[in-house]
Amino acid sequence: MKKAQVLILDYGSQYTQLLSRKVRELNIYNEVLSFETTAEELKEYKDLKGIILSGGPSSVYEEDSYGIDQEIFNLNVPILGVCYGMQLIAEKFGGKVENADAKEFGKAQLHFDNFENKLFEGLNDHKNVWMSHADHLTKIPNGFIQLAHSDSSIAAIANIEREIYAIQFHAEVTHSEEGMQMLQNFVFKICNAQKDWNMNSFIEHQVEEIKNIVKNEEVILGLSGGVDSSVAAALISKAIGKQLTCIFVDTGLLRKNEAKKVMENYTKLFDLNIKLIDASQRFYSALKGISEPEEKRKIIGREFVNVFNDEARKMQKAKFLAQGTIYPDVIESSSKGHSSKTIKSHHNVGGLPEDLKFELLEPLRTLFKDEVREVGRKLGLDNSIVNRHPFPGPGLGVRVIGEVEKEKADILREVDDIFITKLEQHNLYDKVSQAFATILPVKTVGVMGDNRTYDYVVALRSVNTIDFMTATSTHLPWEFLDEVVNEIINKVEGVNRVVYDITSKPPGTIEWE
């Protein structure tokens, strides 16, 4: 039987992962499943206490809209519909949903119509909530009552007897005042869930599971120097010690002096075997002439595994390939099994060949980034590792926009190093969530020392985010940016123009590719 007290059926909302994270903050383990999951499949979860239907971009009245197995409503498990989830519930129980003249995107004021319900228990009236919908409910379904409204829409309904609740707004978004209290009310007062999720119990469970799975076999892990692979290494090492060998592959797409720093730092921190493989030329050759981002990711992933296959021939007992895959990697990369469309495939999950010669070991694949960091701290990893900004699996392969060439990667390494070093010197590094540089596939005219130049443009990016699902650009001091740009132009040959990216996510992504 599978474990999870709360299950979230994903209808493609950009906030689905955030919703899952918020429920976990209540110390409740939950999973995100496809909207195509059947009632029979849900019965495999012996501890199931509640189901949440996420938001999504579709309209329930469209012919090919995402549906639900009607038998799910007969499982006698409390259900909460959010945004599209509310409209789906309404449509399935005889209500009516239509395109709205007054669409709601952003903040709206919530007015309670019925205080006698557990969902809004302990809350005050007239709350600001976050709306994101073009459709609205025009007829309340049979057996339901109206719990709340906004100025333009029916905002919440419920069938109290069947414990089916639905809200038009996104309680999981921080802009929704007391949204966490609503989720808490649903999880504890309606579902009667018991707190079962913390990182101490996760570590204990994973250590035992790794031991049971691996037994006397050997494991190899691709150590990148980033948070995810480092925590995975520490966790697996705690379980099986020297049976783990970490392979650090220099792809030629790493940050400045990355290979040297990893080999120096990690041999001090971990009691494990670490091998350095210089495969940079192999990766540059494989990427020659390739500009399309998804194709680059797949090539890098494939070559990465091929390097492992080559090393495995030297390790007779190597049966498992360990990766630092985390939950957002799994969800964002999935086009099958989750309804949300693939935005980008991740190196850890998108580039593996079907004839992989190892069994995968991914002990962090159920965790979000903040949970991974917490596990790292509990395992005793240094803050310089745990608090390190995310670095994509394909490395500079997706920060060199367009075709990847060594010349451009070398330029980018220098630019990125200056930017990060300056952030550290000004005590800004830990105040931003992720900062990096990219190099663009264009050159512009410049003037240096009275001479005309025709060199590359680089872009700096820094974002602040809670969950990496949404992000805003960092308002770095203008004087600081001026200092960074001045050093880049003066010290990095081949660059004559620097721009700063202020795009939020959405509509952009954090990485450029």
CATH at residue 491: 3.30.300.10
At residue 342, the pLDDT reads: 36
Is position 228 annotated in a ligand binding site? yes
How far apart are the C-alpha atoms of 494 and 407, rounded to whole Å?
Answer: 9
- Claim to verify: residue 314 and residue 452 sit in the same structural domain: no
CATH number at residue 216: 3.40.50.620
pTM here? Answer: 0.69
Cβ atoms within 10 A of the Cβ of 217, count? 14
- Claim to verify: residue 86 and residue 157 sit in the same structural domain: yes
For 142, left (φ over 0), alpha (ψ -120 to 50), or beta? beta
Query: Would residue 489 count as lying in a domain?
Result: yes
At residue 393, the pLDDT reads: 82
At which of 140, 172, 190 does a domain end? Answer: 190
- Claim to verify: residue 347 and residue 413 sit in the same structural domain: no
- Claim to verify: residue 153 and residue 204 sit in the same structural domain: no
Is position 230 annotated in a ligand binding site? yes
Query: Would residue 508 count as lying in a domain?
Result: no
How far apart are the C-alpha atoms of 133 and 146, rounded to whole Å?
Answer: 18
CATH number at residue 183: 3.40.50.880
Query: Would residue 513 count as lying in a domain?
Result: no
At residue 399, the pLDDT reads: 97
Query: Would residue 395 count as lying in a domain?
Result: no
- Claim to verify: residue 107 and residue 37 sit in the same structural domain: yes
Query: Would residue 393 count as lying in a domain?
Result: no
At residue 233, the pLDDT reads: 93
3-state secondary structure of 228: helix
Query: Would residue 391 count as lying in a domain?
Result: no
The residues that are catalytic are: 83, 170, 172
Name the nearest CA neighbour of 124 among 113, 108, 112: 112
Is position 225 annotated in a ligand binding site? yes
- Across the chain, which has 513 residues, the per-10-residue mean pLDDT values are 88 86 92 93 94 90 89 96 93 86 75 87 82 82 92 89 93 83 95 92 92 92 86 94 90 92 79 87 96 94 83 79 83 47 41 66 89 93 86 92 96 98 96 97 88 94 84 96 97 97 92 94
Query: Would residue 392 count as lying in a domain?
Result: no
Residues 6+ apart with CB under 8 A from 180: 22, 25, 171
At which of 361, 386, 411 does a domain end? Answer: 386
At which of 354, 386, 418 does a domain end? Answer: 386
At residue 14, the pLDDT reads: 77
At residue 131, the pLDDT reads: 83
At residue 331, the pLDDT reads: 64
Total domain count, the chain? 3
Query: Would residue 509 count as lying in a domain?
Result: no
Is position 229 annotated in a ligand binding site? yes
At residue 340, the pLDDT reads: 41
- Claim to verify: residue 254 and residue 237 sit in the same structural domain: yes
Is position 285 annotated in a ligand binding site? no
Query: What's the distance, Cα to Cα, between the start and end of the chain in Å?
Result: 39
How far apart are the C-alpha atoms of 18 and 179, rounded to whole Å?
Answer: 12
Helix (H) or strand (E) holding 406: helix 406-425
- Claim to verify: residue 258 and residue 299 sit in the same structural domain: yes
- Which alpha helices (H) appear in 165-324, and where do they start and end? 179-184, 199-214, 227-240, 258-269, 280-287, 293-312
The boundaries of the domain holding residue 268 are: 199-386
Tokens of 365: 């694949």
Name the nearest CA neighbour of 113 among 152, 81, 156: 156
- Claim to verify: residue 377 and residue 447 sit in the same structural domain: no
At residue 345, the pLDDT reads: 43
For 475, left (φ over 0), alpha (ψ -120 to 50), or beta? beta
Q: Between the CA of residue 123 and those of 86, 112, 185, what are the distances in Å?
A: 20, 10, 10
Q: Between the CA of residue 74 and those of 38, 39, 48, 63, 479, what are the distances in Å?
A: 12, 9, 14, 24, 61
- Claim to verify: residue 105 and residue 216 sit in the same structural domain: no
Is position 227 annotated in a ligand binding site? yes
- Claim to verify: residue 277 and residue 154 sit in the same structural domain: no
- Claim to verify: residue 137 and residue 43 sit in the same structural domain: yes
Contact in structure between 133 and 103 (CB atoms under 8 Å): yes
How far apart are the C-alpha atoms of 235 and 144, rounded to whole Å?
Answer: 48
- Claim to verify: residue 468 and residue 344 sit in the same structural domain: no
At residue 338, the pLDDT reads: 39
